[in-house]
């Protein structure tokens, strides 16, 4: 584990992360906004940006949605230091095509690219396109075969493979290995198949925002398994609300919670299109009335005074979290606040 934690941001790929009726937060998923957001994050000292992958807006198909991989390529060309992490759902791309795209962005970025494997939860994204959406564990079996091929192809190996889902004969990609053996592999998901896949193929396992003791238990479980890429590192998603005092932060949390209640119909529609076996949604459904943000949001407890938030970050880091992937609202203003008041306390 690194001596100091790393910090990343979630790109605004579908607009707001907490409440869609916030007058202070534009529901803006445009390329122009995301370009400015990531360039500012890099200038402020953030280490990474996660570009989530959706072909259609997961909350409202009538709203804009940024495309992850073309945006990641453009960001790679515009930035100089920040790590570019693009999420990928294996069911949308053949492994040969995706591995080639990853290597190209790796080359454009000068060795700063990573992919985040997620095995999908939004049935409509696949079914409305006539694409198969297998059951939860079957998606992970597909993803296991898929990432095994992508890993080898990104390393520049000549690959011949015959499996349940893919047939590849003598395929080799170039250029490869220009900056390092291959781009970094992140993996999200907390089900048993996800944990096993993380141990077998990931460099970093992403955990959704939740209490410290629960995070400790998850890390203990996965760190106790033989890992292919040692040491396996850990990331945590979290929504941050930091203020001068704990009371002021809690008041802002209450404001966002009240606004989020106006999104009840959107959430219900999204939930109706969600795989019922998704561990993330099983957890967040139970806590929806107490937390804001996606992927666990404020459940990680990064709500409080600057020192309170810094202390909780330090505790998560001591538990094994290397990378904090953060959400804010309004994003730009709160990202600046975090950089000014919290980053100096934890670095």
Tokens of 88: 């990928």
- Rounded Cα distance between 69 and 105, Å, is 9
Length of the chain: 347
Full DSSP string of 152-168: HHHTT--EEEE-SS-EE
Work out the number of other CB atoms within 10 angstroms of the CB of residue 25: 23
Question: How far, in Å, are 9, 135, 247, 310 from residue 341 at the CA level?
Answer: 16, 45, 17, 9
User: pLDDT tens per residue, the chain (347 residues)?
Assistant: 668 999 999 999 998 888 888 889 988 999 999 999 999 999 999 999 999 999 988 888 888 999 999 999 999 999 999 999 999 999 999 999 999 999 999 999 999 999 999 988 888 888 899 999 999 999 999 999 999 999 999 999 999 999 999 999 999 999 999 999 999 999 999 999 999 999 999 999 999 999 999 999 999 999 999 999 999 999 999 999 999 999 999 999 999 999 999 877 766 666 666 666 666 555 555 556 689 999 999 999 999 999 999 999 999 999 999 999 999 999 999 999 999 999 999 98
Sign of the alpha-carbon torsion through 49, 55, 60, 61: positive
CB contact set of 170 (below 8 Å; sequence gap of 6+): 158, 159, 160
Domains located in the chain, CATH noted? 6-346 (3.20.20.30)
Full DSSP string of 256-282: HHHHHGGGHHHHHHHHHTB-TT-HHHH
What digits encode the pLDDT tens for the residues 110-124?
Answer: 999 999 999 888 888
Closest CA to 166 of 193, 144, 185: 144
Tokens of 31: 């390329």
> The tokens 């904090």 sit on which residue?
324
């Amino acid at each position: 584990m690194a001596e100091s934690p790393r910090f990343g941001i979630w790109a605004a790929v579908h607009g707001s992360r907490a409440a869609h009726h916030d007058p202070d937060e534009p529901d803006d998923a445009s390329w122009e906004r995301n370009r400015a957001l990531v360039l500012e994050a890099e200038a402020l000292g953030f280490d990474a940006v996660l570009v989530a992958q959706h072909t259609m807006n997961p909350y409202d198909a009538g709203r804009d949605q940024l495309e992850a991989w073309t945006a990641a390529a453009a960001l790679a060309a515009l930035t100089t230091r920040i790590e570019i992490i693009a999420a990928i759902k294996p069911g949308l791309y053949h492994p040969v095509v995706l591995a080639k795209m990853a290597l190209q962005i790796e080359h454009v970025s000068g060795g700063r690219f990573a992919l985040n494997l997620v095995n999908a939860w939004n049935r409509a994204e696949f079914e409305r396109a006539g694409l198969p959406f297998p059951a939860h564990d079957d998606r992970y079996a597909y993803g296991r075969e898929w990432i095994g091929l992508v890993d080898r192809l990104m390393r520049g190996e000549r690959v011949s493979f015959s499996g349940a889902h893919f047939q590849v004969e003598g395929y080799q990609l170039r250029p490869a290995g220009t900056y390092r053996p291959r781009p970094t592999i992140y993996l999200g998901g907390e089900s048993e198949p996800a944990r096993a896949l993380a141990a077998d193929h990931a460099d970093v396992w992403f955990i959704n925002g939740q209490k410290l003791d629960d995070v400790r238990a998850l890390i203990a479980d996965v760190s106790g398994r033989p890992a292919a890429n040692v040491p396996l590192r850990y990331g945590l998603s979290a929504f941050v609300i930091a203020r001068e005092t704990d009371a002021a932060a809690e008041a802002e949390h209450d404001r966002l919670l009240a606004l989020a209640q106006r999104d009840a119909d959107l959430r219900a529609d999204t939930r109706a299109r969600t795989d019922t076996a998704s561990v993330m949604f099983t957890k967040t459904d139970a806590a929806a009335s107490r937390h804001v943000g996606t992927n666990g949001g404020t459940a990680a407890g990064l709500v409080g005074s600057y020192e309170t938030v810094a202390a909780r970050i330090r505790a998560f880091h001591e538990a094994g979290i290397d990378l904090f992937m953060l959400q804010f609202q309004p994003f730009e203003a709160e990202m600046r606040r975090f950089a000014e008041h919290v980053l100096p306390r934890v670095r």
